[in-house]
Structure 1
Amino acid sequence: MPLSFYSVFVWIFLEYSCLALLFHSGLSLYSFLSIVFGTAKDRPQVIGSLHPIVAVLGGDVILPCHVEPQLDVEELTVEWWRADVPPDPSDTQSDYRYVHRYHDKHHEEDMKKPAYAGRTELFTDGLKHGNISLKISNVMCFDKGSYRCQIPQLGSSSIIEVTVAPPKRIGSPPQCSWRKDVIKDAVKYKERFFFYLFIFFYFLIFIRFFVFICF
C-alpha cells in the first residue's frame, strides 16, 4: 500500500512538473518574442521604395528612402552601399567604401567607391525631416543593382532595387547588356536566419527536457 501511494505521488508530481515546465517555457518564449518584436516596432524604421526604381542611362535618379515616424537624423550616420558588388582586389579599401556616407554632419567623399565619386548626394535640408533619399547623377550601366540605405544607430535598413533603361530618344546608345548575377544579397536574410535558428534550438532543447522528465 505505501508503495502504491508513493507511485501515485511520483506520477502526480511528474505530471505537474511537465505542466509547469511547459507553462514556464511558453511564458519565456512569449516574453522573448514580445521584447524582440516590441522593440523593433517601437523604434523608428528606415523605409525604402518597395518597387524597383528605373534609372535612365546618362540621366539622374533619386532612390527614395526615409525614416518613419519622422525623425531628425542630422546628428546620426546615414550609409548607402552596394551589397551585390564584390570587393575589388585592386582596392585595399573596397570593403569599407560606400556609395555615399554621411557621418558627424559631413559627407565623406573619401569613403565612396571610386565609381560614385562626385555622382551622389543627399538632400541635406531633408535630413531634419528624416529624408535620407539618395540622388545619383550621370547614371551608368553598372548602377543597376541592390542598394541598401541604413542608419546604424537605429539598427534599421532597407534595400532598393535599381534597373537602368536606355534614353528614349532617336540615336540613343543601345541598352546595357547584363550578365546573370552570380552574387546574391546574403546580408538581406542573415539576421532572419539567425533568429529562426535560435527558435529552432530553443524548441529542440525544450522537447528533449520535456521527453526526459515526462517519459
Structure 2
Amino acid sequence: MPLSFNPLFLWIILEYSCLALLFHFGLSLYSFLSIVVDTASEDLPQVIGSLQPIVAPLGGDVILPCHVEPQLNVEEMTVEWWRVDIKLDTRDPQSDYRYVHRYHDKQHKEDMKKLMYAGRTEMFTDGLKHGNISLKISNVMCFDQGSYRCQIPQLERASVIKITVAPPERCGSPPQCSWRNVIKDAGKYKGRLFYVFIFCYCLIFFRFFIFICF
C-alpha cells in the first residue's frame, strides 16, 4: 500500500523548516555584525572621562578630566561640553543650541554658551594637541551639580562625567539619573534586531504548537 501524505502536513513542515533556517541565519548574522561593530569601535580613538563623580567645592573651581585615547591632536576638531540633565529653557529660543562650552574652528565659542556658564568655563588650549579636552569650571554653584557630556562629533565618541557639589546640605539632593538618556545611548539598533529574532522564534514555536495540538 503506497504511503500518502497530507499536503497540509507537508506545507507546515516546509514552512517550519524555512522559518527555522531563516531564524538561525539571522541570529548568526546578528552575532557576526556585533563582533565586527565592537571590533571596529575598539580600533577608533575613545573619549575617556572620569568614571567616579567629581566632588566640586561650592564657590571654588573644579576640573572635569577628559581626554582622547590613544593620544590624538584634536586642535582641528570640535569639542562640545553640555548638560544631559537640564531641560530646555523655553524663554531662550536658542536654548537647544547652547553648550556649557564649545570649541570649534580653533576658537572657544562664547556666544554659544548657556548664560549660567558665561565667563566661568575654560579649556586647556595647549593640551588639545595631546588629546586633553578637560573642562575647568570656576566659582562653582549649586546648579553646576549634575551630569556633563564631553564629545567630539568627528570621532562620534563621548563620555559622561558627574559633578557633586560639596557641602551637599547647602545644595539639596542631587538630581536623579535619567534612564531615558541611558536607554537612548545604549545599543538601540542591535537591541531592535535582537527583539525581531526573538519574535520570529516565538512565531515558529506558536505555529508548530498549533499544528501539534490541532
TM-score bracket for this pair, using the shorter chain length: 0.7 to 0.9
Residue 171 of structure 2 is aligned to residue 177 of structure 1 = yes
Offset from partner CA, 1:104-132 (integer Å, 9 cap, x none): 11110000001111111111111111111
Residues 155-208 of structure 1 deviation map (CA, whole Å, 9 limit, x = unaligned): 111111101114xxxxxxx95232563783622320326232332123313553
Asked if 1:25 corresponds to 2:22, the answer is no
Residues 49-60 of structure 1 correspond to what in structure 2 (within 5 A)?
A: 49-60=50-61
Q: Is the 8 A contact 1:84 1:185 kept in 2?
A: no
Number of equivalent positions = 208
Q: Does 1:92 align with 2:93?
A: yes
Check 1:211–1:75 CA distance in 2 against 1; reply closer, same or farther (3 A cut): farther
Query: Equivalent residue for 1:202?
Result: 197
Return the offset for 1:75.
Answer: 1.2
The 1:97/1:15 distance shift into structure 2, 3 A limit, reads closer
TM-score (structure 2 length as normaliser)? 0.82
Equivalent position to 2:186, from 192, 199, 207: 192
Q: Secondary structure at the match of 1:197?
A: helix
Moved more, 194-203 or 56-65: 194-203
Going from structure 1 to structure 2, the CA distance change for 1:180 and 1:127 (only over 3 Å counts) comes to closer
Contact 2:83 2:147 in 1 (8 A): yes
Determine helix, strand or coil for the equivalent of 1:154. coil
Q: Is the 8 A contact 2:145 2:174 kept in 1?
A: no
- Residues in 1 aligned to 2:87 and 2:194: alpha-carbon distance in whole angstroms: 32
Identity of aligned residues (%): 52
2:124, 2:135 within 8 Å by CA — same for their partners in 1?
yes
SS of match in other structure, 2:186: helix
Q: CA deviation at 1:48?
A: 0.6
| Unaligned 5+ runs, structure 2 | none
Q: TM-score, normalised by structure 1?
A: 0.81
Please give the alpha-carbon distance, in whole angstroms, between the structure 2 residues aligned to 1:165 and 1:199: 43
Alpha carbon RMSD of aligned pairs, Å?
Answer: 3.0
Q: CA deviation at 1:46?
A: 0.9
Deviation at 1:83, TM superposition (A): 1.1
Written as runs of structure 1 = structure 2, the 5 A alignment for 1:159-178 is 159-166=160-167, 175-178=169-172
Deviations 1:13-72 (A, max 9, x none): 778756643542232112221232122222111111011101111111100011111111
Give the whole-Å Cα distance in 2 for the aligned partners of 1:30 and 1:62.
Answer: 40
Aligned counterparts of 1:35 and 1:206: Cα–Cα separation in 2: 24
Runs of 4 or more, structure 1, over 6 Å off, are 9-16
Decide whether aligned partners of structure 1 residues 141 and 22 sit closer, same or farther in structure 2, where only a CA change above 3 A counts.
closer
Q: Secondary structure at the match of 1:29?
A: helix
State how far apart, in whole Å, the 1-side matches of 2:177 and 2:11 are. 59
Give, in whole Å, the separation in 2 of the partners of 1:164 and 1:206: 50
Tell me: CA distance 1:185–1:120, structure 2 relative to 1, closer, same or farther (3 Å).
Answer: farther
Cα distance per residue 1:57-101 (max 9 Å; x no partner): 111110001111111111111100011111112111111100000
1:83 and 1:185 in contact (8 A); partners too: no
Runs of at least 5 residues in structure 1 that lack an aligned partner in the other structure: 167-173
